Amino acid sequence: MTESLSSDIRRFLERHHYTRVTPRAALIDMDGTLYDSMVNHTAAWHRMISEEGIPCTRDEFYLYEGRTGASTINLLFRRAFGRDATKEEIDRLYKRKTQYFVELPPVNVMPGAQRMVAELARMGITRVLVTGSGQSSLISRLDTDFPDMFPSDLRITSRDVTKGKPNPEPYIRAMQLARVSPSASIVIENAPLGCEAGDRAGAFTIGVTTGPIPAKELRDAGAAIVVDSMPALANMLPALILALMTTSIDG
Ligand code: CA
């Protein structure tokens, strides 16, 4: 185990007043983590919101990643019009964003993600999908792209939560589904709001930089460690899980 990994784990244990992390379930984000889909999501959001006459930049949508669709629309409506969107506006606009997403070229599985998930399964760690997305076109591909890896009764989507990330609710609900405590959970995330949600839920949160957001932002948001690519995480998972199980501080 490297010195820096050991000190990152100790810092996490102290911050959460845990003596040890014993990983039994991995709570895994979808967009930008399992699928290389953020380029398409940001394009679809930018097109739809621009058409509404709301000034916005393509890159700002990377920062909203993890929010529910309604929450992102409300944030932009408040900025542009000083009010929340109505229920009708949210339904209509999110449907159009979803349509624009579907019209774009199909997204690819994130390189390294299948190997990363297979490593978790090999080590006997339960996988739970946790996404703020209601993008059914991607959710329905999971069984094909990750066969037997994400049981259908262990999935949290936008339909299951009232508060999206950065609220810890999606990850707390995932822990309840998998019947694990926070200190028996790890979270795998690519976005600042997702890392914040994972850490606030009490899980050892692994940030993976798969897009333009720098590692420091993931760390500042609450990631216990940050890994610079999904293949790198797949490579280091066995050593990381062992390090977690063998690092403890006296309560
Ligand atoms: Ca994500």
> Using one digit for the tens of pLDDT, what is the confidence trace for 229-238?
999 999 999 9
Is the pLDDT at 134 greater than 90? The verdict is no
Residue 1 pLDDT: 62
Is the pLDDT at 76 greater than 90? The verdict is yes
Q: CATH 1.10.150.240 occupies which residues in the chain?
A: 38-103
Q: What is the mean pLDDT of residues 189-202?
A: 97
Is the pLDDT at 137 greater than 90? The verdict is no
pLDDT digits (tens, 9 = 90+) for 101-122: 999 999 999 999 999 999 999 9
Are 94 and 69 in contact, with CB atoms under 8 Å apart? yes
Burial of 43 (0-12, 13-18, 19+ CB in 10 A): middle
More confident residue, 212 or 114: 114
Residue 80 pLDDT: 97
Q: What is the Å distance from ligand 1's center to 250 Cα? A: 34
Q: What is the Å distance from ligand 1's center to 7 Cα? A: 26
The C-alpha atoms of residue 127 and residue 116 are separated, in whole angstroms, by 11
Q: What is the mean pLDDT of residues 70-92?
A: 97
Residue 166 pLDDT: 94
Domain topology for 38-103: DNA polymerase; domain 1 (1.10.150)
Is the pLDDT at 208 greater than 60? The verdict is yes
Q: What is the Å distance from ligand 1's center to 82 Cα? A: 28
Q: CATH 3.40.50.1000 occupies which residues in the chain?
A: 3-37+108-246
Where residue 140 falls among pLDDT bands split at 50, 70, 90? confident
Q: What is the Å distance from ligand 1's center to 115 Cα? A: 18
Q: What is the mean pLDDT of residues 215-226?
A: 97
- Name the pTM for this structure: 0.92
The C-alpha atoms of residue 142 and residue 37 are separated, in whole angstroms, by 13
Q: What is the Å distance from ligand 1's center to 251 Cα? A: 34
Q: What is the mean pLDDT of residues 208-228?
A: 96
Q: What is the Å distance from ligand 1's center to 31 Cα? A: 4
- Residues of the chain with pLDDT > 90: what percent? 86
Are 124 and 35 in contact, with CB atoms under 8 Å apart? no
Could you give the strand order of the β-sheet that contains 204-208, starting from the edge strand earlier in sequence?
Answer: 155-156, 126-130, 25-28, 185-189, 204-208, 225-227
Mean pLDDT value across the chain: 94
Q: What is the Å distance from ligand 1's center to 249 Cα? A: 31
Q: What is the Å distance from ligand 1's center to 128 Cα? A: 14
Residue 3 pLDDT: 79
Element (H or E) spanning 228, and its range? none
The gap from C-alpha 109 to its chain's centroid, in whole angstroms, comes to 15
Q: What is the Å distance from ligand 1's center to 223 Cα? A: 13
H helix runs in the chain, sequence order: 3-16, 38-51, 60-63, 69-81, 87-103, 113-122, 136-139, 142-145, 169-178, 192-200, 215-221, 230-246
Is the pLDDT at 251 greater than 60? The verdict is no
Q: What is the Å distance from ligand 1's center to 190 Cα? A: 5
Superfamily of domain 3-37+108-246: HAD superfamily/HAD-like (3.40.50.1000)
Q: If you count them, how many residues does the chain have?
A: 251
Residue 90, SS3? helix
Are 47 and 100 in contact, with CB atoms under 8 Å apart? yes
Is the pLDDT at 67 greater than 90? The verdict is no
Q: Which residues pair with 226 in a beta bridge?
A: 207
pLDDT digits (tens, 9 = 90+) for 152-162: 999 998 888 88
